[in-house]
Amino acid sequence: MDKLIITAAICGAEVTKDQNPVIPYTIKEIGIEAEKAFLAGASIIHLHVREDDGTPTQDSQRFMACIKEIKNRISDIIIMPSTGGAIGMTDQERLQSIYIEDIEIASLDMGTMNFGDSEIFINTEKTIINFAKEMYKRGIKPELECFDKGMIDTALRLNEKGIIQSPMHFNLVFGVRGGISATTRDLVYLINTLPLNSTYTITGIGQYEMPMAALSIGLGGHVRVGLEDNIYVSKGILAESNAQLVEKVVRIANEMGRDVASPYDTRKILGLK
Ligand code: KMH
Ligand code: ZN
């Protein structure tokens, strides 16, 4: 098995300090959370950024400032900007996060879905193709965000057309209301539909974060955790930091005999430039 890549989704676009006061908003808070997550064992930071008041933004300047802050603290960490942004943002707005030098990998959302009780996360095929082409042009590997089986099928179809290149790297997300459920049955089902030469990371939302992580560690997949997906460290207890969630994954991996990947290992496993 490859070493375990741990991605920390430290900020997100939806969660707020009202829900958990340690959600980072400012450039400095984002830098500190990223550094602590790295020291705990994360090699990738999945990055959303905010204005100081918590408003989500895809502004290139703000992304650049946050990336600089993180890289000043840990020079070799891998930063994966979100191109999903927040619900309701335009495509043009969302793409700003990759109009920056030296981005190695970015998220690419593979379909439209209900997102929670009243929102729709819109990713038409035209949008996906446009984003994929832009990433290809810039030498950025897409992490294919799939919240359901049909989104994997879209990735496979665009791969056949040469719009998304092999080997593909997937993030399979379980437990968003509107997406696939967070069950062992569905996790095994989705993994079995992936091309053999692809890599995947698993994200479980809310209470499903650690159970899905443990399954992925055992099966040879990779893991994403962080406050974007889950604000609790255990039932009813708010996480004190992203690092606390990463530490939990490292403990599970240690118990299961899986080594954790450094940024160097991660670049090799994912074939990043
Ligand atoms: N904020 C969600 C609507 C991504 O980063 O690419 C979308 C999201 C996915 O977080
Ligand atoms: Zn995200």
Q: Is the CB of 143 inside a 6 Å radius of any atom of ligand 1?
A: no
In this prediction the pTM is 0.98
Is pLDDT above 90 for 273? no
What is the Å distance from ligand 1's center to 252 Cα?
A: 26
What is the Å distance from ligand 2's center to 5 Cα?
A: 17
Q: Which two tokens stand for residue 94?
A: 């969302």
CA-based angle 55:58:59, to the nearest 5?
A: 100
256: enclosing H helix or E strand: none
What is the Å distance from ligand 2's center to 186 Cα?
A: 21
85-142: pLDDT as tens digits:
999 999 999 999 999 999 999 999 999 999 999 999 999 999 999 999 999 999 999 9
Q: Is the CB of 82 inside a 6 Å radius of any atom of ligand 1?
A: yes
Identify the three-state secondary structure at position 38.
helix
Q: Is the CB of 107 inside a 6 Å radius of any atom of ligand 1?
A: yes
Ligand that comes closest to the CA of residue 13: 1
Is pLDDT above 90 for 161? yes
* Ligand 1, atom nearest to 46 Cα: 5
pLDDT band at 201; cut points 50, 70, 90: very high
Q: Is the CB of 109 inside a 6 Å radius of any atom of ligand 1?
A: yes
Q: Is the CB of 41 inside a 6 Å radius of any atom of ligand 1?
A: no
CA dihedral 264, 193, 126, 98 (to 10 degrees): -10
Euclidean distance between CA atoms 99 and 81, whole angstroms: 10
Ligand that comes closest to the CA of residue 89: 1
Ligand that comes closest to the CA of residue 95: 1
204-230: pLDDT as tens digits:
999 999 999 999 999 999 999 999 999
185-199: pLDDT as tens digits:
999 999 999 999 999
237-247: pLDDT as tens digits:
999 999 999 99
227-272: pLDDT as tens digits:
999 999 999 999 999 999 999 999 999 999 999 999 999 999 999 9
